Amino acid sequence: MNDRLHEAFAQEMDAGDPLAELRQEFLIPAINEQEAIYFCGHSLGLQPKRAELYVQIELRDWAKLGVEAHFRGSHP
C-alpha cells in the first residue's frame, strides 16, 4: 500500500504545514459534538471569526453615512 495513505503520513504533513496556524481564524461547526470535516466546495467555506465584526462595521457605516459610506466609510 502507498505510504501516503496512512494516518501517520497525514499527521506528518499537518505538523509541517506552514498555514496550520490559520485554522484558528475560522469557526468550525460541530456535528454530534465533534468538529465537522468540511469538504463543501460550493460554498463560502468556513466562516472567519472576524466576519461578524466586519459586517457590523459596514452596517454601522451604512446607518450613519448612507450611500456616502461607499466613499467615506471605514472601508470605502
Element (H, E) at 75: none
User: What stretches in the chain show pLDDT beneath 50?
Assistant: none
**Geometric angle at alpha carbon 38, from 7 and 20, rounded to 5°:** 60
Which pLDDT belongs to residue 40? 79
Which pLDDT belongs to residue 1? 57
pTM of the model: 0.70
Q: Where are the domains of the chain?
A: 3-72
8: left (phi over 0), alpha (psi -120 to 50) or beta: alpha
Q: Which residues pair with 48 in a beta bridge?
A: 26
